[in-house]
Structure 1
Amino acid sequence: MSGGGTQKSFRKALGALKDTTTVSLAKVNSDYKELDIAIVKATNHVERPAKEKHIRAVFASISATRPRADVAYCIHALAKRLSKTHNWAVALKTLIVIHRALREVDPTFHEEVINYGRSRSHMLNMAHFKDDSSPNAWDYSAWVRSYALFLEERLECFRVLKYDIETDRPRTKDLDTAELLEHLPALQLLLFRVLGCQPQGAAVHNFVIQLALSLVASESTKIYQAISDGTVNLVDKFFEMQRHDALKALDIYRRAGQQAERLSEFYEVCKSLDIGRGERFIKIEQPPASFLQAMEEYVKEAPRGSTFRKDQTVDNKVDAPKEMMAIEYKKTPEVEEAKPPSPPPPEPVKVEAPVVEPPDLLVTS
């Protein structure tokens, strides 16, 4: 057997031993032994998706009917698992449990995770995570970091919107100008993190990563639908805006076009990997340059008290925004060859609080 194969086998055996030891300790020492055992088994070192029964056992402890102390303990245990592990499979499977809990458990779980991050350190801070056990593990680690950033942004978006974009009806088509100018940038930041989850290298063909990617891809349709609805609403209000608001709206409108193009490429990659079979992916028609020019012209005139009106847009098509921003849903076509991705647009600016390193709370996973 080659040296690399021997080392890989040794690491697998060591990971299995760690899982067994942790389960044994939980049976003896833990007040939450059933939950601790479920977490270890749902996030073990085995490089395969977790068994559903273990994930459901974790979810049972964080439902709205359980004492808040139980929920807090579960979040603490998951955070500890993330902060202590250097194994990509453990980290990824822990993130999948958290992601699915955000989707499938009641909204109080969102609040508890956000509050945990405020009181201690952000549990999803994986910026320095790496598994250097093999060249493939290096690629897997990069995807784990991108996935954690998406989940972190997902929580931030929930904090801004006050609802979950996946489980609740989008509300952007009914917001006023001030709310739109707050909600749309948060949604575009979230979509930016979606686009960052396009796998590279060995991560492209890893089945556990593909499982998590399918969750991200399925949520992206609702994210962009909310952005599109909000952008139509924003454009409808645009020609009555003060200049400082119009400048923000124009930037949102430009970024929506850039992200639509990249999202189409992202879906081509997903289809080439046979991810989302049967899902309805979004196809967006790019807005005509002529309308963007009319918006830019209004911004120039606004400081001088312009009387620029919506009916002065190109060809007097007042309803043009609704037509050009319409979303067309289609069944996934046959798998096509993925196109190389375009360079990403600049990340929207967001001021973040300094990251505090998580305390050394747990037994090594």
Structure 2
Amino acid sequence: MAAMQSWRKAYGALKDTTTVSLANLNSDFKDLDVAIVKATNHVECPPKERHLRKIVAATSIARPRADIAYCIHALSRRLAKTRNWIVALKTLVVIHRLLRDGDPTFREELLNFAQRGRILQLSNFKDDSSPIAWDCSAWVRTYGMFLEERLECFKILKYDVEAERLSKQGQGPEKGHSRTRELDSQDLLEQLPALQQLLYRLVGCRVIISSLYAKTSRRSCKYNYLVQYALALVLKESFKIYCAINDGIINLVDKFFEMPRHEALTALEIYRRAGQQAGSLSDFYEIAGV
């Protein structure tokens, strides 16, 4: 087993070197191609910040839309071709970081790209090279579904919950509120289910440990540093998502007795699901060690 793992690492390093060499032949986007390959290589550690900075710069609003579209195409190609869970997970991390820290034009172009094909569709992804690879493959698939849902939620809300600044209500030290606190009934009944579905996908990112080896080994998916890094990004998203849902529920209760019957029934279902998700999120935090 150890010899096989050493061979796979050597083979992965060789593939990375070859891909970087080929990227250097691309005269138009070689710096971006090299940064993407190095940020998503076979080394079992998070993408290095210097490579991420180059990718973020290449997708800024100052760059032509064609450059941003090329970056998305390159990331999509990287994700589609790999059968290695490390490369797949690091590519998803890069996309997630660009959604969180990059320019909004990247998200807009990603949405345009997604209309032609689902870039993050990883339902059939599988790396069965080892027990830990098998377990991490399951987490890669659920992480991909969360990022897909993140884009779907943005299409409905027309704003990014994570990038939202909480607004202060009046004076004093009390915490700010999400914009869901001020929505009218129609927008509220449209946006809250989208936010709840996003939270459902987020909670689905709980670490999956399926094999007997993983359950008894410190080298399981749960203890993997690369998985923990990606999981930390997901956990950061949970706070504002839950805050937006919670503020929306408060708003919903205030408006409930003024709603027509069909809207009131929808509101009751939203309220019921909110109660269930509060418990699921608490369990998720416990599993994640928060």
TM-score of the two chains, using structure 2 as the length reference: 0.91
Structure 2 contact 47–94 (Cα < 8 Å) conserved = no
What amino acid sits opposite 2:281 in the alignment? Answer: L
What amino acid sits opposite 2:264 in the alignment? Answer: A
Of 163, 182, 188, which aligns to 1:180? 188
Of 190, 195, 200, which aligns to 1:192? 200
What amino acid sits opposite 1:258 in the alignment? Answer: Q
TM-score of the two chains, using structure 1 as the length reference: 0.72
Q: CA deviation at 1:141?
A: 0.3
Alignment map for 1:2-13 (pairs within 5 Å): 4-13=1-10
Identical amino acids, percent of aligned pairs = 63
Of 34, 39, 43, which aligns to 1:37? 34
Q: Unaligned regions of 5+ residues in structure 2, if any?
A: 166-177, 210-219
Alignment map for 1:69-80 (pairs within 5 Å): 69-80=66-77
What amino acid sits opposite 1:243 in the alignment? Answer: R
Q: Deviations over 1:148-194 (max 9, x none)?
A: 01100001111111111111133101111110110000000000011
Q: CA deviation at 1:113?
A: 0.3
Q: CA deviation at 1:200?
A: 2.1
Structure 1 contact 30–36 (Cα < 8 Å) conserved = no
Report the counterpart of residue 231 of structure 1 in structure 2. Answer: 249
Is 1:212 matched with 2:208? no
Is 1:108 matched with 2:105? yes
The CA distance in 2 between the partners of 1:252 and 1:205, in whole Å, is 35
The CA distance in 2 between the partners of 1:217 and 1:101, in whole Å, is 17
Q: CA deviation at 1:29?
A: 3.5
The CA distance in 2 between the partners of 1:33 and 1:230, in whole Å, is 46
Q: CA deviation at 1:31?
A: 2.1
Which structure is larger by alpha-carbon Rg, 1 or 2? 1
Of 81, 84, 87, which aligns to 2:84? 87
What amino acid sits opposite 2:283 in the alignment? Answer: E
Is 1:164 matched with 2:164? no
Q: CA deviation at 1:234?
A: 0.7
Of 233, 245, 261, which aligns to 1:243? 261
Q: Whose RCO is larger (CA < 8 A, sep 6+)?
A: 1
Alignment map for 1:1-365 (pairs within 5 Å): 4-119=1-116, 121-169=117-165, 170-201=178-209, 202-271=220-289
What amino acid sits opposite 1:183 in the alignment? Answer: Q
The CA distance in 1 between the partners of 2:183 and 2:221, in whole Å, is 39
In the TM superposition, structure 1's runs of 4+ consecutive aligned residues that sit over 3 Å from their partners are none
The CA distance in 1 between the partners of 2:123 and 2:208, in whole Å, is 17
- SS of 1:28's equivalent in the other structure is coil
What amino acid sits opposite 2:11 in the alignment? Answer: L
The CA distance in 2 between the partners of 1:225 and 1:149, in whole Å, is 21
Report the counterpart of residue 292 of structure 1 in structure 2. Answer: none
What amino acid sits opposite 2:96 in the alignment? Answer: H
What amino acid sits opposite 2:265 in the alignment? Answer: L
- SS of 1:86's equivalent in the other structure is coil
Once superposed, what is the RMSD of the aligned Cα atoms? 0.9
Q: Unaligned regions of 5+ residues in structure 1, if any?
A: 276-365
User: What is the aligned length?
Assistant: 268
Structure 2 contact 156–191 (Cα < 8 Å) conserved = yes
Q: CA deviation at 1:52?
A: 0.8
Q: Deviations over 1:99-150 (max 9, x none)?
A: 010010121211110100112x110001000111001100000000010011
What amino acid sits opposite 1:264 in the alignment? Answer: S
What amino acid sits opposite 2:67 in the alignment? Answer: D
The CA distance in 2 between the partners of 1:200 and 1:25, in whole Å, is 36
More helix by proportion, 1 or 2? 2
Q: CA deviation at 1:264?
A: 1.0
Q: CA deviation at 1:30?
A: 4.5
Q: CA deviation at 1:8?
A: 1.1
